[in-house]
Amino acid sequence: MRRVTAEDDARAAVAAAWKLEAAKVVASVARMVHDVGLAEELAQDALVAALEQWPADGVPANPGAWLTTTARRRAVDHIRRAQRLERKREQLAHRCPGEPEADGDDAGHDSHDVLRLMFVSCHPLLRTEARVALTLRLLGGLTDEEIARAFLVGRTVIARRVADAKRTLAEAGVGFAMPPRTELAERLSSVLEVVYLIFNEGYAATSGDDLMRPGLCLEALRLGRLLAGLAPDEAEVHGLVALMELQSSRSAARTGPSGEPVPLHEQNRGRWDQLLIRRGFAAMLRAREAGGPPGPYLLQAAIAVCHAQARTAEETDWRRIATLYGTLERLLPTPVVRLNRAVAVGMADGPAAGLALTAPLAEDPALRDYHLLPCVRADLLHRLGRYEEARREFLRAASLTANAAEEAFLRGRAAAATTAARPAGMPTLGEAVRAFLERDGMDPGTARSYGQTLRRLCRSLGDELPLAALTSADVARVFALAWDGAAARTWNRHRSALRSFAAWASVGHVAEGIGRRAAGRERARPLDEAEFTALAGRPDVALRERTLWWLLRESGAPVSTVLALDVTDLDVRARRARTRGGEGWLTWGAGTAEWLPGLLAGRRRGPVFLAERRPGPGRPPAPGDLCPETGRGRLSYERAEYLFKQATAGHTLRRLRVGPRPPSRPSTS
Amino acid sequence: MRYLMTTKESVGAAAPDEKLMAEMAAFVEELTSAGVLLATGGLMPGGPRVASRGDDITVTDGPFTEAKEAVVGFALVECRSKEEAIEVARRFRRIAGDGESLIQEVFDGCGG
């Protein structure tokens, strides 16, 4: 038997104690210094001190309390130093809590502090990856190295993300306050989103060779369980925990001996973890006790419950699952939810019904490269006996997934679906494209440009599609999906690439459906009334974007003109504004009028549309582009365009303008 | 990773007093809500023993003489590493007083 040496022992104890206590230590210091980034650094100082002292002096009786006390002492030193330096003794006095008190004096604060820490590390100001990294570091006590390993990126990437996040929080003066009651729901959902994202990154590893990275699942489960203890009245928190417990319960069963995925209905249910299932059910009960209408996490957990309750795949209550997905789709009409509903309906009402639901999804640009769509379709086609189509969809799915184990599995299914052998000597689309691009006399620039067009064709239709089976309708569909919103020049470039390829491969007819677009038709088709109303009415659209979009829509004015408006240009009651330079007026209607006062929120000067945050020291904007009341700069065209593209899967803001409506002359003045 | 922590009774250990019980309850509560402790319980001393040899199954009723070897409690914990499991056990022992706990990793990478 090997006995661990005292020193090894102490080092291991430091690392383990740190992971278990990090959240509490950081939170407790953050309450003193009101800056989460600084709090973490002070807490890290305590960790360093522990690494120095424990191996020599032995592990203290209560390692967590030792770390907290030491970190708080460092915080007091820091505050004193800051006071001396800045000579702001009076102003800071109320912030200084004095000496750290004896251990355990503030157990009551502990849980609130940790909850606040979660809110800050998942702050909507931060980009998603930054929230994830910061949360794992602050709440999970993970090192940059450990986070980097879990996400398969370099350590410096994570270090930078964390540093940027801390700076962003400090610059925005986020501090360490609980979010105001009005923002609580939104902020909580940001926390839930981060936790579930961490879980999913572990559960459905989107890249790499392993199908799962269990470490991340465990971190997410811990964060979820912790959150459930801190916010016990929130049904969605328990819903998320239930969902994660139930999904985890299947983790041992969902990969086969060589790492390949095992679909739910083929899993050995004896390998499902009953302990986690029971925990999931218990979390469900707590969610029900918390009350309120079921939210998206609770509904997804309810679906997981249906699976967990079925002793065999055949006993699954697909009818109920399809109904739950229907409810979920009304709350969360994402393409992925709609796809899952199609699967459930395919089980409840037969493959034809499921397949019909996937048809509109194939037209959705958001799912263009999502491998599960062809995967689901392939499965349904296979059950309908349409093997050749199934085979092609399996291959398409295989070419779209970034996960090696999954790709191998899908290729296997495609091979199994091959019934009729392809006639000898007939090339596939992929083969023909490769031969075309690699042929002699093709210059590299042209090959690159043509390659863009033709690879899109291959990705959308499948490399394995026999060239002879390619139809002009297939091609037209890909073109419409990929480039309908593009400029005429872009469209025509793709068109000539296609024509050149089709002529070379002697399948000229497939290019016939693609017409040339007049170069004058630069402006894309404006959104129609229904599209616009749906877009502007979406609950996830922020007030600023909503107001901007309405104003662009109703005024018909150019984007740059609208963004250049200052509050002093507006005549809110008359629903009009003087445009920059004073050469005319733009007017708006009821839609803009509904949101504009909320956006202005009493501001009397500065730009109407403001950036989310204050400008960094590196790029001071012109004084006219700075709001004297909030210190924030004018919203840039690039940012506005970016947000619109995010919201609409790639449309440009110009598509909001209904028609040319030049600024009108004032009728009276 | 999951670990099963089993605790053996120590000879001559003082019976648990109220303070110990309260501390232990707080400890269990804390670890449970942190998601570390999955299941725990104390065990009655003795109990029937079932042994098999070839086709023979023998059932013997306790109690047994070697009571000091008997397991009196268990905890199933989910930890990131063996070190973390040791840290948990260390805290447990600090509350429980004299005695000995054994930490064994549970096979199979399930549960996370």
Residue A162 pLDDT grade (very low, low, confident, very high; cuts 50, 70, 90): very high
Tell me the mean pLDDT in the region A48-70.
87
* pLDDT tens-digit map of B8-35: 877 666 677 888 888 888 899 888 877 7
Residue A582: pLDDT over 80: no
Pair A435, A547 in one domain:
no
pLDDT at residue A581 is higher than 70 = no
Q: Max Cα separation, chain B?
A: 50
Residue A501 lies in a domain: yes
pLDDT band with cut points at 50, 70 and 90 for residue A663: very low
Same domain, residue pair A495 and A550: no
The answer to whether residue A273 neighbours chain B at the CB level (below 8 Å) is: yes
pLDDT at A440: 77
Q: CA nearest B38 in A: which residue?
A: A275
Answer whether residue A418 is part of any domain: no
In order of their start, the domains of chain B are 2-105 (3.30.70.1060)
Question: How many angstroms from the chain centroid is the CA of residue B84?
Answer: 16
Closest among A289, A152, A275 to A221, alpha carbons compared: A275
- A544/A479 same-domain check: no
Model pTM score: 0.61
Q: Which domain holds residue A620?
A: 529-656
Greater confidence, A238 or A217? Answer: A238
pLDDT at A668: 41
**Residue A242 lies inside a defined structural domain of this protein:** no
| Domain annotation covers residue A75 | no
Angle between helices A404-417 and A387-400 (to 10 degrees): 170
The answer to whether residue A337 scores a pLDDT higher than 80 is yes
pLDDT, averaged across chain A: 84
Amino acid at A649: A
CA distance A654 to A524: 8
Q: Say yes or no to pLDDT of B111 above 50.
A: no
Q: Domain for residue A505, yes or no? A: yes
The CATH number of the domain holding residue A542 is: 1.10.443.10
Q: Which pLDDT score, from 0 to 100, does residue B110 have?
A: 41
Q: Quick check: A319 contacting B, CB < 8 Å?
A: no
Least confident segment among A9-13, A264-268, A360-364: A9-13
Residue A520 confidence class, pLDDT cut points 50, 70, 90: low
The verdict on A591 and A535 lying in the same domain is yes
Write the single-letter amino acid at A618.
Answer: G
d(CA A455, CA A471): 17
Contacting residues of A for B103, CB less than 8 Å apart? none
What residues in B contact A205, CB-CB < 8 Å? none
Cβ B111–A275 below 8 Å, yes or no?
A: yes
CATH of the domain at A483: 1.10.150
Is B49 part of the contact surface with chain A (CB cutoff 8 Å)? no
B63: closest CA of chain A, how far (Å): 30
The answer, for A51 touching chain B at a CB cutoff of 8 Å, is no
Q: Is A459:A441 a contact under the CB 8 Å cutoff? A: no
Domain boundary among A463, A484, A511: A511
Whether A107 is covered by a domain: the verdict is: no
- Same domain as A536, residue A650: yes
User: Reduced to 3 states, what is the DSSP secondary structure of residue A303?
Assistant: helix
The single-letter DSSP state of residue A633 is B
User: Tokens standing for A515?
Assistant: 């017409």
Q: Please say which residue of A484, A511, A538 terminates a domain.
A: A511
SS3 string, A422-476, reads CCCCCCEHHHHHHHHHCCCCCCHHHHHHHHHHHHHHHHHHCCCCEHHHCCHHHHH
Judge whether A589 lies within some domain.
yes
* pLDDT tier for residue B4 given thresholds of 50, 70 and 90: very high
Count of domains in chain A?
2
Which percentage of chain A shows pLDDT scores above 70? 89
When pLDDT is averaged across residues B32-58 and rounded to a whole number, the result is 85
CB contact under 8 A, B87 and A63: yes
Cβ-based neighbours of A232, under 8 Å, separated by 6 or more: A286, A290
Tell whether A490 and A553 lie within a shared domain: no
A583 in the same domain as A610: yes
Q: Do A567 and A639 lie in a common domain?
A: yes
The pair of structure tokens assigned to A69 is 């006390």
**A536 & A638 share domain:** yes
In whole angstroms, how far apart are CA B25 and each of A101, B18, B32, B102? 24, 11, 10, 21
Last residue of a domain, one of A446, A477, A511: A511
Residues of A in contact with B86 (CB under 8 A): 12-13, 16
Residue A461: inside a domain: yes
Say whether B33 and A248 touch across the interface (CB within 8 A): no
CB contact under 8 A, B111 and A19: no
Residues of A in contact with B88 (CB under 8 A): 20
Q: What is the average pLDDT across A622-635? A: 83
My answer on whether A561 and A641 are in the same domain is yes
CA distance A419 to A10: 64
Whether residues A542 and A652 share a domain: the answer is: yes
- Residue A239 is predicted with a pLDDT of 97
Tell me the per-residue pLDDT of A460-491, one tens digit each, with 9 for 90 and over: 888 878 887 788 888 888 888 888 878 888 88
Report whether pLDDT(B104) > 90. Answer: yes
Same domain, A535 and A494: no
Q: Which two tokens stand for residue B73?
A: 């409690």
Listed in sequence order, the residues at least 6 apart from B72 whose beta carbon sits closer than 8 Å to its beta carbon are B7, B8, B9, B42, B43, B45
The pLDDT tens digits for A523-540 are 567 788 888 888 888 877
